[in-house]
Amino acid sequence: MADRILGQDTEIRIIMNGGVEESLTDVMSFSTTDKLEIKEQGYLGETTNRHSQVYSGTSGDISFHLEKGAAFKFKQNLIDRARRKVGYFKVNVLSTFIFPGGDTFRILFPDIQVGSPKVEDSKREDFVAMSFSWACDSPKSLD
């Protein structure tokens, strides 16, 4: 048995106002990038530059097939939130990794900010999909 984890051993949940968005569960891909920036500065009289690091949050992308029309309501809610037409609500993403040995690891991406939701209906034989990029200030390990 391989000790590596497969995509089938992960769960991605989008949570809006404390409840799981059931219409957004057919996740095809999910990626995250921790934005670490290397700072470099050289000084007179020194032979090597000094280096330091700055953390600038986490960003990612998510893509899922549309299972219910509620996904369009979710998209409209995001647009209305950005336009300040509705009261502010939080959207969180919970990612759970279930390892073959029984270990689980959960990461919460709190209060994500969503950029440019895209609906793609490209071919007659393909399922309709929605995707968006996102960013958050600081993910939290729950385990």
Within a domain: 1: no
Q: Give residue 127's domain range.
A: 7-141
Q: Which residue has the tokens 């009261």?
A: 87
This prediction's pTM = 0.83
The token pair that represents 35 in the structure block? 């934005």
DSSP state of 122: -
- Kindly give the confidence (pLDDT) of every residue in the chain, 143 residues in length, as a single tens digit, with 9 standing for 90 and above: 567 888 888 888 888 877 777 767 788 999 999 999 999 999 999 999 999 999 999 999 999 998 888 888 889 989 999 999 988 888 999 999 988 888 899 999 999 999 999 999 988 888 999 999 999 999 999 98
d(CA 119, CA 15): 20
CATH of the domain at 107: 2.30.110
The token pair that represents 67 in the structure block? 């299972």
Q: How many domains is the chain partitioned into structurally?
A: 1
Length of the chain as a residue count: 143
- HSE, side-chain direction, 13 A CA sphere, residue 113: 8
Cβ distance 37 to 54 under 8 Å? Answer: yes
Within a domain: 2: no
pLDDT reported for residue 106: 94
Within a domain: 80: yes
Cβ distance 21 to 15 under 8 Å? Answer: yes
Smallest CA-to-CA distance from 117 within 89, 70, 79, 66 is with: 79
